[in-house]
Amino acid sequence: VKCPSCNAEIADKAIVCYRCGAPTTATGAVRRKDAASGSRGRLIVLLVVLAGLVGLLLFTYLR
Ligand SMILES: [Zn+2]
């Protein structure tokens, strides 16, 4: 593939360009995927916290 920044020919699996250090387009896609899974992880944490709060409320009311 060619570097989007300096047009140097770099390996397909290269994460950054060896010549100018610019990240390849594939890295951008991976980063977007990471961001998506990160927000999903935050949603799961939110659900767990909500479930814990509901459990705590039920525990408090049932006593
Ligand atoms: Zn480059």
14-41 pLDDT, tens per residue?
888 999 998 886 545 555 556 666 777 8
Q: What pLDDT does 57 receive?
A: 93
Q: What pLDDT does 56 receive?
A: 93
Contact of 36 with 43, CB cutoff 8 Å: no
Cβ neighbours of residue 37 under 8 Å, at least 6 residues apart? none
What average pLDDT does this structure show over 39-51? 89
Average pLDDT, the chain: 82
Q: What pLDDT does 26 receive?
A: 52
CA of 9 to the centre of ligand 1 (A): 8
CA of 19 to the centre of ligand 1 (A): 5
CA of 48 to the centre of ligand 1 (A): 44
Confidence class for position 13, pLDDT limits 50, 70, 90: confident
